[in-house]
Structure 1
Amino acid sequence: MNQEIFIVEDDPNIRDIVKAYLSKEGFQVTLMENAEDAWKKATEHQPDMWILDIMLPGMDGYELCKKIRQTSEIPIIIISAKDEEVDKILGLELGSDDYLTKPFSPRELVARVKRLFKRAIAQPITSDTENAVLKIADLEIDQAARQVYWKRQEVDVTSKEFDILEIFAKKPNRAFSREELLTQVWGEDYFGSDRAVDDLVKRLRKKLEDLPVETVWGYGYRLHYEEDAQ
């Protein structure tokens, strides 16, 4: 497999057990006991997946998850002794792909890791090669180069941010449900919360100020476009 997983967990017993199970399945595992060391390591070398504990000394797992998500769509699994619904929702809103409560079965963790990797390597949304550039008012999307320009300035976006923008731009003014966006961007086998869509849109609104993505309350989102705005 050769996929590398960074595990950030301050409990040595859990670290060793998880490493043993994942290594047996052919994954390369790097263990770290705090978020600060993990983040420093990531600036030198990015893994293919993160497994994060929440209750860490110093920077907690939520903050590390947020930092990772600002620049990357690398799959993230949060493991935590916290079993409250609000904690799970917070983890998903910050960008994690899955949330597993302690104590957990190592076999279940392995199954979720495999499932996330399977989804991560799925074929991306196909582009219309005959119309390689989409232009909607101040938004310009180069589908072939997977580049985004907002008000003539290039904006760095993650893979999923690009995909959802492409979906909106191909069918402006059409309302997309959260479930539909989850399926198109994350894949049919995604098992997380539809709040992941809300988080993705929130990040795009922050990166592309005044982006006319409107909330369709109780349903989803649409990209508002008026032809005379060109």
Structure 2
Amino acid sequence: MRHHIYIVEDDPNIQDIVTAYLKKEGYDVSVADSAEQAWEQTRKASPDMWILDIMLPGMDGYELCKKIRQDSEVPIIIISAKDDEVDKILGLELGSDDYLTKPFSPRELVARVKRLFKRVDVSGTQTHPASSGELSLGELKLNTEERTVFWQGIEVEVTAKEYDMLQIFVRNHNRAFARDELLSLVWGEDYFGSDRAVDDLIKRLRKKLDGLPIETVWGYGYRLRYNEEDGK
């Protein structure tokens, strides 16, 4: 199956060059001049990867990145003339997977695209291997083949990273994980950004799975508490 990449960039020269290189590698490519145009065109069919410029007319790339991350974990690469560290960190904290500063080599961009697709499948699910079957911990059940989550008998929709975090906790319940360790396990060792991403993900899980005993280990990280005797 061919991967579909959506480029949001208002510079026609960059559009043409990047499109040509990606198509040469066998990818399907769509292009938009604005974030609004791209968002409208992908409402019914999300691409397998986004390449976003930051400085766009109207809605900027940061805002589009936030909107994408509200319901999707597909890879996002930001390309921008902004090369300050704070801009890179902001982009990564908003959910992008990589940040490339202009001017850049199209070959380097292609290499980063390939690297991300090796780590992520078509649906945006990270390709961490999992044993087949079901993982259970009290009222929490994970289907490792379908990557679905059930809490108190009700299926709960979770993102790919939320599922990965839950699987780590279930397999290692009662173990305390440092924030930077969770960042590496869920986002990958090459992730460059703040561990606030871990806090935000934990906050979402606590909201979706109300009552699940994810405990804060102050000054360190988090653990999923489970009492074998009480079954909770």
The Cα shift of 1:112 comes to: 0.6
1:221 CA drift (Å): 2.9
1:37 is matched with which residue? Answer: 37
Considering only aligned residues, what root-mean-square deviation do their CA atoms show, in Å?
2.5
Cα distance, 1:151–1:66 mapped onto 2, change above 3 Å? farther
Which among 91, 103, 126 is matched to residue 130 of structure 2?
126
Unpaired segments of 5 or more residues in structure 2? none
Q: What secondary structure sits across from 2:42 in the alignment?
A: helix
- Between stretches 120-129 and 87-96, larger displacement belongs to 120-129
Distance 1:205 1:63, change over 3 A: farther
Deviations for 1:136-187, whole angstroms, at most 9, x for unmatched residues? Answer: 4x53323344222334432211222112101101211112344544554445
| Contact persistence 2:2–2:28 (CA under 8 A) | yes
Find the counterpart in structure 1 of residue 137 from structure 2.
135
Letter in 1 for 2:137: K
Aligned equivalent of 2:9:
9
TM-score, structure 1 as length reference: 0.84
TM-score of the superposed pair, with normalisation by structure 2: 0.83
Matches of 2:66 and 2:30, distance apart in 1: 20
> In 1, are the aligned partners of 2:89 and 2:192 still within 8 Å (CA)?
no
Given residue 134 of structure 1, which amino acid in structure 2 is its aligned partner? Answer: S
Q: C-alpha distance in 1, partners of 2:93/2:212? A: 20
Identity %: 65
Contact kept, 8 Å, 2:135 with 2:144, in 1: the verdict is yes
Q: Provide the aligned length of Structure 1 versus Structure 2.
A: 226
Following superposition, the deviation at residue 99 of structure 1 comes to: 0.7
Residues 93, 194 of structure 2: 8 Å contact kept:
no
Q: Which amino acid aligns with 1:90?
A: L
| Larger CA deviation: 193-202 vs 117-126 | 193-202
Provide closer, same or farther for how the CA distance between residues 14 and 145 of structure 1 changes in structure 2, counting only shifts above 3 A: closer
Q: Relative to total residues, which structure has the larger helix share, 1 or 2?
A: 1
Question: 2:157 maps to which residue?
Answer: 156
CA deviations on 1:51-86 (whole Å, 9 max, x unpaired) are: 011111222111211121122211110111222222
